[in-house]
């Protein structure tokens, strides 16, 4: 075989030894102990020092001199809870010391213990509009003389004066310039510090705590013994919404735009994915020129899904709770969205599913329920698990096509490249009339740019689809997709489901703005971690690529030894199918599966031929032939197994009716077995004496009576060779049927678990689900037991009947690890370096999913379908890992270009002429430019270990090394 040219040595990553061969887990240095072991002997010291702070901390003979003015006659009874200085001060010194920290709590010594006091009680007044210490000629007190300020350490009531001098700013502006965010415009009575709002925002992102929980924390920080505290919960929620909106617009540069916030375009405030292709930003001008084998790396990979946990109750409305973002970030513009649904909602019905009974199809026309305004949300994610701009919208009646169509088209209008790969868990149904629906929408949401689409089913969801979907829409077997899995929305939902309990109680505008804020933070965390994320993927992809390419080469070598031209034939076949899905599918079997009913028919036809030839005397029984005798026995075996299972599942306290029905079934079965035993006396005379030893026979326990088939009594009773041959043929067919039942039940179990995890809530629903799953587990155990029993019988019979032994290569021993569904694809393979990713492309599938029937692999040309399928899959795995390496190379280039672009964009905003009053705009632009510069530098730092081994490419040029991967490997395959 010629060298494997596809394995381009210049492309291979190489890493330091500590990366490729990590050493043992870091151990604690010798001689060190756990910190808790050092703490335990000192617990009393910690306790006493904690108690010491409850007093004044005076040493023996110490005086009560004020720590500020040093006057011994001053009443030094006060200290600050927050300041580092723990000395006692007089009231005057405490107030003067806190002119710049008016939101600290102070304590007063009353002779026995400290009592919390506010600085307002001690006489502190806050004057806005002037430097600290400077008086105002025309001060104006706040309305009702007290301003309630929410700070990180509690809720404060302060005396505050506005400045009313000439040229004085508006009152809410004076508050903002003092880092106080007013609850209203005009004459506010409540404000929150910038520090608190930023802390609340970040705590919400990380802990998903609701605004109510955060406010109650402030209440307890203010007073933890139940005394009344000013209720500013609604004001806090309003300020938090406004804060989020202003921060969003600030970070997205709307403060530097001429038109300001009102001129913000749809989707312009969304945090974008730096690794995705963005024309005019991180793609070369000629990115769309050339053959697909070169331009496929500029494909935008999208995934679409719905989440029914993010529902919203029917509270408030848009008039009473308007949104602030209005489609400028992730959630679509509500007005346009509703107009679209009103126009096309009834014109786009959901088609009847021609695939399996998917949850998305079943719930498409289900209303949210009583009191539900939105049954969930739909969303579009990119390959890197970031939400796309204007791609999130409410669902009113379930996962309707009209809703998902709008989200799909809306996100494509946000700077999408020519080629788009879209995955969706029901894509086989959704795409049936997609082009017709897009044409219907043309006048309302025109795309303006025609895209080249390719559609897929996510890797985890595809197991629930029919066989044709599992190949036609598979990421595994389709070219130019790399290792994309299409499951990005599922990972995003896992991070967002915990916020559902608070957003479902919100009004429509508040909920949309909150989702924008949370999705923006989710995207930003992905952006700042993208250097490490891509590097982790590289460390995973390179060794996997080498391993699967090596396996594919070895397979080609072994096939070429016996059939040199087969690889050319198979390569042509798989290429034709990749280009035209109407061609024969090389990944599926066309062999007819041997069934027990077919064997029964064949044996009956043989009996008929014997009778037609006048061979009645050859039959042991005139009415029941040997084949019919064995067919009845196998049927009785199945009935026994079902009855035994039903008895084992019977509750501890069954009803009289349940016991009566089971007893009737047992009696009917016993009569059938006794009749069959009478036949057995003629066909197998030697078993009669063995029956006397059967206790179950004597007790009438029909399901436990052994039938004593020929395979079970080989060493004790002599059976005719004809019976042995017939049973062997029956068992050969029965084992295939049993394995089919096992696989079907495993797939059903996967679907039930998936449905349960996503939709089942509440004790009663979970109880019903567990009951169904328990019964299904019983069927799986019965299938497993039956398969092992049949395999044992085949093994016994194979020594006494004539056979070629090929069945041993097809029907392998079934271990507990082999009994795994398509969701559990980690059969003994090392875990992925990417957290949560273990997929078909990097493991060996359990053998039960690779058997479609009795296949003789000795003749590759005539009966090598199994080998061909495995060759196609091995080739596909090698291709996907090779494509992943090229795709990662391109994504790393795009990330660097994007960060440089954003840095230059902010730097250009900073060079705009500003007055001294606008110095903050220039400073902020320069700081943002520095942020993206630092992200760019981090990419260089993290990826420097690849330099010299992985051609990173010039940021301003097209991606280097875009070798025609598929054509190259196929040329090698052909040459082989």
Q: What is the pLDDT of residue 359?
A: 58
Q: What angle do CA 360, 366, 372 make, to 5 degrees?
A: 115
For residue 862, what pLDDT band results from cuts at 50, 70 and 90? very low
Please answer whether residues 196 and 150 qualify as being in contact, where contact means their C-beta atoms are separated by less than 8 angstroms: yes
User: Is the pLDDT score of 974 beyond 50?
Assistant: no
Confidence class for position 756, pLDDT limits 50, 70, 90: low
Residue 959 has pLDDT above 60, yes or no: no
Q: Take residue 880 and report the two structure tokens written for it.
A: 């996907």
| 3-class SS of residue 379 | strand
Return d(Cα 294, Cα 302) in angstroms, integer.
Answer: 20
pLDDT of residue 967: 37
- Stretch among 156-165, 646-655, 958-967 having the lowest mean pLDDT: 958-967
Average pLDDT over residues 774-782: 80
Q: Which of 199-213, 780-794, 833-847 is predicted with the least confidence, judged by mean pLDDT? A: 833-847
CA angle in degrees (0–180, nearest 5) for 544-540-588: 45
Highest mean pLDDT among 272-281, 313-322, 756-765, 946-955: 272-281
Mean pLDDT of 630-659: 82
SS (H, E, C) 335-369: HHHHHHHHHHCCCCCCCCCCCCCCHHHHCCCCCCC
Q: What is the pLDDT of residue 567?
A: 87
Q: Which long-range contacts (CB under 8 A, 24 or more apart) does 780-784 make?
A: 780/742, 780/745, 780/746, 780/749, 780/819, 782/641, 782/645, 783/738, 783/739, 783/741, 783/742, 783/745, 784/742, 784/814, 784/819
For the chain, percent of residues with pLDDT exceeding 90: 36
Sign, Cα dihedral of 40, 42, 48, 52: negative
Of 734, 563, 710, nearest in space to 641 by CA: 734
Reported as type and span, the H/E element at residue 378 is: strand 376-382
72/936: higher pLDDT? 936
Which tokens belong to 33? 């102990």
Higher local confidence (pLDDT), 953 or 489: 489
Q: Are strands 419-424 and 300-307 parallel, antiparallel or unpaired?
A: parallel
CA 880 → CA 483, 541, 604, 629, 826, distances in Å?
6, 10, 50, 53, 18
Axis-axis angle for helices 721-759, 763-798 (nearest 10): 160
Radius of gyration of the chain (CA): 38
Task: Please tell me the predicted confidence (pLDDT) of residue 458.
Answer: 92
Q: Residue 192: CB partners within 8 Å, gap ≥ 6?
A: 149, 150, 151, 180, 181, 183, 236, 239, 243
C-alpha torsion angle, residues 79, 82, 85, 89 (rounded to 10): -20
- Tokens 């210049």 correspond to 10
Task: Report pLDDT for 799.
Answer: 76
Instruction: Please tell me the pTM assigned to this model.
Output: 0.72
Nearest to 566 by CA among 850, 968, 976, 966: 976
Q: Determine the pLDDT at residue 298.
A: 95
- Quick: pLDDT tens for 187-201: 899 999 999 999 999
Q: Which residues partner with 394 through β-bridges?
A: 377
Residue 331 pLDDT? 95
Question: How confident is the prediction for the chain on average, in pLDDT?
Answer: 80
Q: Which helix (H) or strand (E) holds 160?
A: strand 154-163
Name 157's Cβ contacts closer than 8 Å, sequence gap at least 6: 118, 120, 146, 147, 148, 149, 230
Taking 80 as the threshold, does the pLDDT of residue 267 lie above it? yes
Helix, strand, coil percent values for the chain (each to nearest 5): 50, 10, 40
Q: Rounded to whole angstroms, how far apart are CA atoms 814 and 797?
A: 19
Q: What is the pLDDT of residue 832?
A: 33
Per-range mean pLDDT, top range of 49-58, 725-734, 745-754, 865-874: 49-58
What integer pLDDT is reported at residue 856 of this predicted model?
A: 31
Measured CA distances, 938 to 384, 535, 707 (Å): 18, 12, 73
The confidence score (pLDDT) of residue 208 equals 87
Please write the tens of the pLDDT for every residue from 419-460.
999 999 888 889 888 888 888 888 787 766 678 899 999 988
Region 750-775: what's the mean pLDDT? 61
How far apart are alpha carbons 788 and 193 in whole angstroms?
A: 71
Q: What value does the mean pLDDT take over residues 597-603?
A: 53
Q: Which tokens in the block code for residue 816?
A: 């507990």
**Is pLDDT of 172 > 80?**
yes
Q: Under a CB-based contact definition with an 8 Å cutoff, are residues 508 and 321 in contact? A: yes
Q: Does 498 score more than 80 pLDDT?
A: yes
């Amino acid at each position: 075989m010629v060298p494997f040219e596809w394995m381009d040595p210049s492309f291979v990553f190489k890493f330091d030894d500590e990366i490729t061969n990590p050493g043992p887990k870091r151990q604690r240095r010798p001689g060190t102990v756990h910190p808790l072991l050092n703490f335990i002997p000192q617990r009393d010291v910690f306790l006493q020092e904690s108690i010491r702070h409850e007093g004044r901390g005076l040493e023996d003979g110490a005086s009560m001199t004020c720590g500020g003015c040093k006057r011994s006659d001053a009443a030094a009874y006060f200290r600050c809870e927050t300041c580092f200085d723990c000395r006692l001060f007089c009231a005057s010194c405490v107030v003067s010391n806190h002119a710049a920290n008016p939101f600290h709590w102070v304590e007063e010594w009353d002779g026995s213990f400290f009592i919390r006091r506010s600085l307002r009680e001690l006489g502190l007044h806050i004057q806005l509009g002037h430097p600290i210490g400077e008086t105002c000629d025309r001060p104006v007190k706040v309305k009702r003389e007290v301003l309630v300020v929410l700070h990180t350490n509690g809720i404060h009531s302060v005396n505050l004066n506005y400045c009313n001098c000439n040229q004085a700013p508006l009152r809410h502006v004076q508050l903002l310039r003092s880092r106080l965010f007013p609850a209203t415009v005009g004459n506010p009575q409540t404000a929150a510090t910038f520090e608190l709002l930023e802390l609340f925002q970040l705590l919400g992102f990380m802990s998903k705590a609701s605004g109510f929980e955060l406010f109650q924390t402030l209440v307890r920080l203010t007073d933890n013994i139940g005394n009344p505290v000013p209720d500013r919960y609604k004001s806090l929620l309003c300020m938090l919404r406004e804060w989020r909106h202003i921060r969003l617009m600030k970070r997205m540069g709307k403060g530097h735009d001429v038109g300001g916030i009102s001129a913000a375009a749809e989707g312009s405030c969304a945090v974008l994915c730096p690794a995705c292709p963005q024309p005019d930003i991180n793609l070369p001008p000629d990115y769309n020129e050339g053959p697909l084998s070169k331009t496929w790396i500029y494909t935008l990979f999208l995934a679409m899904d719905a989440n029914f946990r993010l529902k919203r109750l029917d509270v408030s409305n848009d008039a009473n709770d308007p949104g602030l973002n209005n489609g400028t970030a992730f959630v679509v513009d509500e007005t346009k969205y509703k107009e679209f649904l009103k126009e096309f909602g009834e014109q786009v019905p959901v088609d009847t599913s021609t695939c399996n009974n998917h949850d998305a199809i079943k719930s498409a026309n289900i209303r949210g329920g009583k009191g539900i305004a939105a049954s969930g949300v739909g969303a579009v994610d990119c390959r890197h698990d970031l939400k796309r701009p204007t791609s999130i919208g409410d669902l009113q009646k379930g996962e309707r096509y009209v809703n998902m169509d709008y989200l799909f088209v809306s996100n494509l209008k946000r700077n999408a490249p020519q080629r788009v790969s879209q995955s969706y868990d029901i894509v086989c149904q959704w795409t049936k009339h997609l082009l017709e629906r897009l044409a219907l929408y043309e006048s309302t949401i025109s795309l303006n740019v025609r895209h080249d689409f390719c559609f897929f089913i996510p890797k985890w969801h595809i197991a629930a689809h029919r066989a044709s979907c599992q190949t036609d829409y598979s990421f595994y077997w389709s070219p130019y997709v790399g290792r994309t899995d299409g499951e990005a929305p599922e990972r995003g939902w896992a991070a967002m489901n915990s916020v559902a309990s608070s957003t479902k109680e919100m009004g429509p505008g508040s909920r949309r703005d909150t989702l924008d804020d949370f999705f923006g933070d989710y995207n930003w965390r992905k952006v700042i971690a993208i250097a490490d994320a891509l590097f982790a993927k590289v460390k995973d992809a390179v060794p996997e690529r080498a391993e699967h390419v090596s396996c594919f080469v070895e397979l080609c070598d072994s096939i070429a030894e016996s059939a040199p031209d087969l690889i050319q034939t198979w390569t042509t076949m798989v290429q034709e199918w990749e280009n035209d899905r109407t061609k024969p599918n090389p990944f599926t079997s066309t062999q007819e599966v041997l069934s027990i009913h077919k064997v029964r028919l064949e044996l009956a036809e043989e009996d008929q031929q014997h009778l037609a030839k006048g061979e009645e005397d050859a039959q042991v029984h005139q009415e029941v032939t040997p084949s019919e005798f064995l067919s009845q026995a196998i049927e009785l075996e199945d009935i026994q197994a079902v009855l035994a299972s039903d008895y084992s599942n019977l509750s501890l306290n069954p009803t009289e009716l349940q016991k009566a029905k089971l007893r009737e079934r047992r009696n009917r079965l016993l009569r059938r077995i006794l009749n069959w035993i009478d036949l057995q006396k003629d066909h197998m005379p030697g078993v009669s004496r063995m029956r006397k030893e059967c206790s179950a026979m004597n007790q009438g326990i029909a399901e436990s009576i052994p039938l004593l088939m020929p395979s079970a009594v080989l060493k004790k009773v002599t059976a005719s060779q004809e019976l042995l041959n017939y049973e062997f043929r029956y068992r050969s067919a029965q084992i295939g049927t049993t394995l089919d039942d096992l696989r079907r039940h495993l797939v059903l179990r996967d679907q039930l678990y998936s449905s349960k995890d996503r939709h089942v809530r509440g004790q009663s629903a979970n109880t019903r689900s567990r009951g169904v799953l328990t019964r299904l587990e019983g069927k799986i155990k019965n299938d497993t037991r039956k398969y092992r029993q049949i395999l044992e019988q085949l093994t016994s019979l194979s020594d006494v009947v004539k056979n070629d032994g090929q069945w041993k290569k097809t029907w392998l021993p079934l271990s507990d690890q082999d009994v795994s569904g398509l969701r559990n694809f980690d059969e003994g393979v090392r875990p992925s370096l990417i957290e949560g990713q273990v997929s078909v492309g990097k493991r060996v599938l359990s053998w039960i999913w690779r058997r479609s029937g009795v296949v003789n692999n000795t003749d590759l040309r005539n009966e090598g379908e199994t080998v061909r399928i495995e060759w196609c899959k091995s080739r596909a795995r090698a291709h996907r890992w090779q494509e992943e390496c090229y795709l990662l190379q391109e994504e790393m280039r795009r990330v660097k270009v994007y960060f440089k672009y954003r840095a230059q964009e902010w730097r250009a905003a900073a060079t705009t002429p500003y007055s001294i009053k606008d110095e903050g705009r220039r400073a902020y632009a320069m700081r943002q430019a520095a942020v993206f510069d630092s992200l760019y530098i981090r990419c260089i730092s993290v990826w420097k270990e690849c330099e010299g081994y992985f051609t990173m490419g010039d940021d301003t040029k097209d991606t280097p090394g875009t070798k025609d991967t598929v054509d190259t490997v196929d040329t090698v395959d052909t040459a082989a």
